[in-house]
């Protein structure tokens, strides 16, 4: 049965791997720190009579055999963190799953820790789950480099060397269903005074790179009427996009997080500005309409400069499995509410592979990717108990 005290103790113990002086966690994907954390997880699983294996990208699976040889029920999340991460993002899902595994299920149950969910060491994130689901090519992932030039392949070799007894199994395979417990990373549950959320789905996200091309000129001699100032054009574009994507209910999320001016010299009219766009919406039609309208709005606002808008990535909204969600809602009763995930998760890729669902527990004030990230033992226990009830039902 679920032991809340042990779960809490393990959350604190795992957080020692990569502990920051300010109470947070810095546990980069495929680092030796993460390998040590995996060693701890493997030891806890072994105590419970479970076996461990990894795969070509370092995804970690802790397996409870079933009475019958069936595709496993997969439960988990990730244990890598942002450099300024907290103790619970990802780690909570893995440890809640470990606590929730039954003694003798009919169907095998596997606890999983996906590789590089955060994307802060190797971009983009959700690398392990994407490869598992066949959404990304393994060779392409192995060649990705971190900021120091280290490839995923090199980092994996270090991880495997640090865990020499860990068998490397085949990538992917049939999965009965996937469940990911996670902290909410928002304030919806806290404001509702509820301990559990049944996640309806993930909002979609499109990212773009924009280049505004103008003409460099002397800040003292060039008349303003004849300038093609790329910075002013980009500023007009940003204002136009803010208006275009805004809605009264504040549903669409629009962010320009990167803005690069060149030549970035005090007395030169800028000839070029490059900026990023991160656009998110829970509704696929709205995301398509807004995203498709960006390029024309930028071109109009940027004139007489020219504008190039390139789409870098597209993830449409995904709805989780209606049957699993209904089961979770029934098991949780009054303690739970349905809610949308505003952040991305490994569950996005698993949803394309098998019936998938997520459970959220509250985190204080929605603070996350921050050392102050905080949850309560009561909420941690509630999420693990719902996870255990779901495993019981789905592994029967």
Size of the site for Zn ion (CB under 5 A): 2
Please classify residue 263 by burial: count the beta carbons closer than 10 Å to its beta carbon, then call 0-12 exposed, 13-18 middle and 19+ buried.
exposed
User: Nearest approach, Cβ of 182 to Zn ion (angstroms)?
Assistant: 6
Q: Residue 180, interface with Zn ion (CB under 5 A)?
A: no
**Between 29 and 131, whose beta carbon lies closer to Zn ion?**
29
User: Nearest approach, Cβ of 271 to Zn ion (angstroms)?
Assistant: 40
**Between 25 and 234, whose beta carbon lies closer to Zn ion?**
25
What is the SS3 assignment for 151? strand
**Between 90 and 214, whose beta carbon lies closer to Zn ion?**
90
**Between 89 and 327, whose beta carbon lies closer to Zn ion?**
89
Given a contact cutoff of 8 angstroms between Cβ atoms, the answer to whether 334 and 195 are in contact is no
User: Nearest approach, Cβ of 90 to Zn ion (angstroms)?
Assistant: 4
Q: Is the dihedral of CA 215, 217, 219, 224 positive or negative?
A: negative
User: Nearest approach, Cβ of 52 to Zn ion (angstroms)?
Assistant: 21
User: Nearest approach, Cβ of 41 to Zn ion (angstroms)?
Assistant: 16
User: Nearest approach, Cβ of 268 to Zn ion (angstroms)?
Assistant: 43
* Cβ atoms within 10 Å of 235's Cβ, excluding its own: 16
State how far the Cα of 184 lies from the Cα of 380, in Å rounded to an integer. Answer: 12
**Between 114 and 275, whose beta carbon lies closer to Zn ion?**
114
User: Nearest approach, Cβ of 3 to Zn ion (angstroms)?
Assistant: 23
**Between 90 and 105, whose beta carbon lies closer to Zn ion?**
90
**Between 117 and 271, whose beta carbon lies closer to Zn ion?**
117
Residue with tokens 């699983």: 45
- 185 to 204, contacts with Zn ion by CB under 5 A? none
Per-residue binder mask for Zn ion (CB under 5 A), 37-76, x = binder: ----------------------------------------
**Between 179 and 230, whose beta carbon lies closer to Zn ion?**
179
Q: Which helix (H) or strand (E) holds 32?
A: helix 32-47
**Between 90 and 362, whose beta carbon lies closer to Zn ion?**
90
User: Nearest approach, Cβ of 104 to Zn ion (angstroms)?
Assistant: 31
Please identify the residue of the shown chain whose CB is closest to the bound Zn ion: 90
Helices (H), 61-173: 91-100, 127-132, 138-142, 152-162
Residues 6+ apart with CB under 8 A from 206: 277, 279, 280, 287, 291, 311, 313, 314, 315
The CA–CA distances, whole Å, from 50 to 53, 63, 228 equal 10, 5, 66
Per-residue binder mask for Zn ion (CB under 5 A), 77-116, x = binder: ------------xx--------------------------
The CA–CA distances, whole Å, from 171 to 7, 84, 137, 180, 255 equal 29, 31, 11, 19, 36
Bridge partners (DSSP) listed for residue 145: 151
Kindly state the tokens that stand for 154: 């090199």
What is the SS3 assignment for 56? coil
User: Nearest approach, Cβ of 368 to Zn ion (angstroms)?
Assistant: 8
Given a contact cutoff of 8 angstroms between Cβ atoms, the answer to whether 162 and 339 are in contact is no
Q: Which residues bind Zn ion (CB under 5 A)?
A: 89-90
């Amino acid at each position: 049965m679920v032991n809340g005290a042990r779960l809490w103790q393990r959350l604190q113990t795992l957080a020692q791997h990569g502990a920051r002086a300010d109470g947070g966690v810095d546990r980069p994907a495929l680092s030796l720190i993460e390998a040590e954390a995996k060693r701890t997880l493997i030891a806890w699983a072994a105590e419970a009579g479970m076996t461990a294996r990894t795969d070509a990208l370092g995804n970690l699976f802790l397996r409870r055999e079933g009475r019958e040889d069936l595709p496993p029920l997969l439960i988990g999340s990730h244990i890598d963190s942002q450099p300024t991460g907290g103790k619970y993002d990802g780690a909570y899902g893995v440890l809640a799953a470990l606590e929730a595994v039954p003694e003798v299920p009919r169907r095998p149950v596997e606890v999983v820790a996906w590789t590089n969910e955060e994307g802060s060491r190797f971009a983009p994130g959700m690398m392990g789950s994407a490869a598992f689901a066949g959404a990304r090519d393994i060779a392409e992932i192995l060649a990705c480099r971190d900021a120091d030039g280290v490839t995923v392949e090199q980092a994996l070799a270090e991880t495997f060397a640090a865990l020499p007894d860990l068998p490397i199994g085949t990538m992917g395979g049939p999965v009965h269903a996937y469940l990911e417990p996670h902290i909410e990373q928002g304030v919806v549950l806290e404001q509702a005074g509820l301990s559990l959320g049944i996640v309806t789905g993930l909002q979609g996200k499109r990212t773009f790179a924009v280049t505004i091309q103008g003409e460099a000129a002397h800040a003292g001699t060039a008349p303003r009427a004849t300038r093609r100032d790329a910075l002013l054009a980009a500023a007009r574009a940003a204002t136009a996009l803010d208006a275009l994507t805004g809605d009264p209910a504040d549903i669409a999320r629009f962010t320009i997080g990167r803005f690069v001016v060149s030549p970035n010299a005090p007395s030169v009219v800028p000839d070029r500005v490059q900026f990023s766009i991160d656009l998110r919406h829970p509704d696929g039609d709205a995301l398509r309409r807004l995203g498709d309208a960006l390029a024309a709005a930028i071109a109009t606002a940027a004139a007489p400069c020219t504008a190039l808008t390139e789409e870098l990535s597209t993830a449409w909204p995904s709805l989780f499995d209606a049957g699993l969600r209904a089961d979770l809602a029934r098991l949780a009763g009054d303690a739970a509410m349905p809610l949308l995930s505003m952040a991305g998760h490994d569950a996005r890729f698993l949803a394309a592979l098998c019936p998938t669902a997520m459970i959220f527990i509250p985190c204080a004030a929605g603070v996350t990717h921050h050392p102050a990230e905080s949850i309560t033992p009561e909420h941690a226990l509630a999420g693990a108990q719902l996870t255990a009830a779901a495993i019981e039902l789905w592994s029967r």
